[in-house]
């Protein structure tokens, strides 16, 4: 039987790429349409929440280690860099109930 000239996938001597559990548990960025425009929304897991933030919805502190959301405009007038600079951290509940 002739040998294949194609390399085999998943060779035993190669280490598989490790799973990024932080990203899996934290969730993926998505867009949401609201009355005031289109928003990029990125969930933050408890492990990724290392700093203290102030929620613009309720004005209370989001303590380190608290899962929450980061939101910024996806359709801003001044470009993507300005939108990223204006991103805000929200309690998940506050983001869901905001008008």
Domain positions in the chain: 21-97
Instruction: Give me the pLDDT at residue 44, please.
Output: 94
All residue ranges of the chain with pLDDT < 70 are 1-13, 19-27, 99
For the chain, what is the largest distance between any 2 Cα atoms, rounded to a whole number of angstroms? 72
Buried b / exposed e across 58-97, counting CB within 10 Å, b at 16+? eeeebeeebbbbbbbbeebeeeeeebeeeeebbbbebbee
Q: What is the pTM of this model?
A: 0.70
How do the residues of the chain divide into helix, strand and coil, expressed in percent and rounded to 5? 20, 25, 55
């Amino acid at each position: 039987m002739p040998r294949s000239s194609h390399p085999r996938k998943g060779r035993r001597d190669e280490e598989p790429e490790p799973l990024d559990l932080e990203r899996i548990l934290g969730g993926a960025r998505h867009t949401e349409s609201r009355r005031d425009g289109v928003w990029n929304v990125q969930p933050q897991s408890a492990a990724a929440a290392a700093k203290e933030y102030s929620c613009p919805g309720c004005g209370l502190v989001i303590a380190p280690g608290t899962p929450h959301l980061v939101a910024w405009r996806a359709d801003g007038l001044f470009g993507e860099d300005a939108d990223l600079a204006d991103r805000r951290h929200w309690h998940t509940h506050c983001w869901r109930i905001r008008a």
